[in-house]
Amino acid sequence: HLELKHRLMDSVSSVIGFFLSLDTKSLLLFIVVFILTADYFKNRRPANFPPGPRMFPIVGNLFTVDHTKTHESMKEVQQDSWTYGDVYSLRMGPNFLVVLNGFKVVKEALVKQADSFADRPLLPLQLDVFSTLVCKYVKTLFFCLNFGLGKKSLEPVILDEFAHCAQEITGYKGKPFNPHLIINNAVSNIICSMVFGHRFEYDDENFKKLLKMFEKAFWILTSIWAQLYNAFPHLMRRLPGPHQTIQNIWKDVKKFIREELKDHKQNWDPSDLRDYIDCYLNEIQTTTGQVDSTFDEENMVVCILELFLAGTETTSTTLRWGFLYMAKYPEIQEKVQAEIDTVIGQFRQPSMEDRVNMPYTDAVIHEIQRIGNIVPLNLPHSTTREVQLGGYTIPKGVTVIPSLTAVLLDKNEWETPHTFNPGHFLNEEGKFVKPAAFIPFSAGKRQCPGESLAKMELFLFFTSFMQRYTFSMPAGVKPVLNYRFGFTLTPAHYEICATLRQK
């Protein structure tokens, strides 16, 4: 034992002597080589893992992807190498993720193997902003759905809000205007009516501030700053940047909602539940004392954020793309208006019951959703177990990104994938049909919770707009279909003219 101890001491002394004999440059070189070697062995792809582009030390593929157009960049990565099929991998810092391209593989994952891809990854930025609320939120999701998107009819609320919106647009008297804020206000007011029990005037400063905060937060959460934060949270917490403003936005949103909550508590009557907050307060009282209850005021705020996300951003973006496409294709706009005049007339308000008798209008709305590619990348999924997909092995807990862009523009599923064509949704008899590859709200167990509300909003708003106005570009201006990448693919700011159809 004594001899072994002496040998160990000699070895330690040799190592220390080796480092002391190195000059500064040699020591730095040794450290760099050691870090790179350790990174390679720690972060190399597992056996039979989907292939992917070359990974850089430490950062992986963080800068392989252009985060100002992530959906296109991910498609380009696949096209740059014939060796990648519809399933390939990227490494964002120390974290691997798998990208799914094309309808067949997305359907295989989200529908046929739904249980294996049913989780959501808990990303560091989410956890730092929402703490444990994200976990608790999942358990109260069905309450959100049952109240807002299933039981309460919002058709009269939507039509009433259109009247306010139309008053704003008519005030421009056919002159060019930017529809961004007006449409955002109108669609957001549907959620406000459902959640708070009242709408806001479009010039309300607090309302405008709330919507700007949501817009900024959605952009940050899909930016390179968010990716860096999720890859290196311990470092990014200490560095300045847009990612730090998320915390401030969250505080301001909570303050706004708490003011509404304060008013509700003062007038709350369990026998007369007026809106979402009233119902949630009732649920809190009912479940008080239950150990596994997830109903509390903090979690309510997260649910309200989800309702705004599910019921506002996608619908507002779709309508703004719709105005552009109608201005670009006036002959299609005329056919929509002709169908409206035949089925509804110019003076009766549209109803969801009209939809079945308006196949062309329905097809146009769906084509706007398809080619507008509103949510280009599905929200991240996470594997619940080791799974086989596309001939590869994906371990448990790996983040998976289904590319809805690759599905909605899949050349194997659509006759003219890059051309605006309502015929994609019409059969030979002119009846509406929905192809299986139309999944703008995702598919399977993680399908968007706001789908039913969004469908109602889109049909009633779009039909009402087409019934009342003809949309065209300002004189001498051609429609430009540029976009800004974020949670949704929003059209670049533009101006449009809305001319009244009836006197």
Name the residue among 298, 270, 295, 291 with its Cα closest to residue 282: 270
pTM equals: 0.86
Q: Residues near 401 by Cβ (< 8 Å), separated by ≥ 6?
A: 74, 97, 98, 99, 100, 377, 378, 380, 381
Identity (one letter) of the amino acid at 412? Answer: N
Asked whether residue 448 is marked as a ligand-binding residue, the answer is yes
**Tens digit of pLDDT per residue, the chain (503 long)?**
566 666 666 665 665 555 556 566 666 666 666 566 665 556 678 889 999 888 888 888 888 888 888 888 888 887 765 667 889 999 998 889 999 998 999 999 999 998 999 888 877 777 666 554 444 444 455 455 555 444 447 899 999 999 999 999 999 999 999 999 999 999 999 989 988 889 999 999 988 888 888 888 888 888 888 888 888 888 888 888 888 888 788 888 888 888 888 888 888 888 888 888 888 888 888 877 676 667 777 778 777 877 777 678 889 999 999 999 999 999 999 999 999 999 999 889 999 999 999 999 999 999 999 999 999 888 888 999 999 999 999 999 999 999 999 999 999 999 999 999 999 999 999 999 999 999 988 887 666 667 788 899 999 999 999 999 999 999 999 999 999 888 889 999 999 999 999 75
Name the residue among 471, 482, 371, 462 with its Cα closest to residue 423: 371
Q: Are 128 and 118 in contact (CB under 8 A)?
A: no
What are the DSSP calls for 397-409, one per residue?
A: T-EEEEBHHHHHT
- What sign does the dihedral 242-246-248-253 (CA atoms) show? positive
Rounded Cα distance, 342 and 18, in Å: 90
pLDDT score of 139: 47
Identity (one letter) of the amino acid at 350? Answer: P
On whether residue 49 sits in a domain, the answer given is: no
On whether residue 52 sits in a domain, the answer given is: no
pLDDT score of 7: 65
CATH number at residue 484: 1.10.630.10
On whether residue 40 sits in a domain, the answer given is: no
Rounded Cα distance, 294 and 137, in Å: 8
DSSP tag of 198 = S
Beta bridge partners, 88, equal 99
On whether residue 339 sits in a domain, the answer given is: yes
pLDDT score of 146: 55
Tokens, residue 208: 């405008």
Name the residue among 464, 480, 503, 240 with its Cα closest to residue 365: 464
Four-CA torsion 320, 324, 325, 330, nearest 10 degrees:
130
On whether residue 8 sits in a domain, the answer given is: no
On whether residue 347 sits in a domain, the answer given is: yes
Structural domain including 445 reads: 70-500
On whether residue 9 sits in a domain, the answer given is: no
Beta bridge partners, 83, equal none
On whether residue 44 sits in a domain, the answer given is: no
| Strand-strand pairing, 87-92 and 95-100 | antiparallel
R_g (Cα) of the chain, nearest Å:
27
How many domains does one find in the chain? 1
pLDDT score of 500: 96
Beta bridge partners, 95, equal 92
pLDDT score of 490: 92
Chain centroid to Cα 452, Å, comes to: 16
Instruction: Decide: helix, strand or coil at residue 97.
Output: strand
Rounded Cα distance, 162 and 169, in Å: 10
Rounded Cα distance, 103 and 173, in Å: 45
